Amino acid sequence: MTGKGQGFGFGLGKMKELADAFKKAQQVQEGAKRLQEELEQMEIEGEAGGGMVKVIVSGNQEPKRVEISPDALQEGADVLSDLVAAAMKDAYNKSTTTMRERMEELTSGLELPGF
């Protein structure tokens, strides 16, 4: 227990710091919610084979659709499988980069401990 008159060791300055930290956290939370909605609406395209195969995902890496050109079909199943996998990887990499960049924008300027 602390002595009389010392409270919990929080001066007024500490209370203001705490209030500011909560406000920043709330802003980040609201921004993160908006960002989540934005990422869900995004369409990020990965491609392979010079555009013969395209995979479109959301900013959250959720698959939306696959586009395969007739030329890709003529390449045979093995080549087509490789092209789809490569396009998926391309789309995934682009979407994770986009997500990371948007998160950095959201948290930049905030001096949050531990980030």
What CATH number is given to the structural domain containing 85? Answer: 3.30.1310.10
Digitized pLDDT (tens) for each residue of the chain, 115 residues in all: 444 554 555 567 788 888 888 888 888 888 889 988 999 999 999 999 999 999 999 998 999 999 999 999 999 999 999 999 999 999 999 999 999 998 888 777 666 555 4
Angstrom distances, CA of residue 85 to CA of 21, 41, 70, 81, 112:
44, 23, 17, 6, 38
pTM above the 0.85 mark? no
User: Does residue 112 form part of some domain?
Assistant: no
DSSP string for 47-106: EETTTTEEEEE-TT--EEEEEE-HHHHTT-HHHHHHHHHHHHHHHHHHHHHHHHHHHHHH
Q: Would you say residue 114 lies in a domain?
A: no
Which residue range is the domain that position 30 belongs to? 12-107
Residue 83 forms part of a structural domain:
yes
Residue 84 lies in a domain: yes
Asked whether residue 1 is domain-assigned, the answer is no
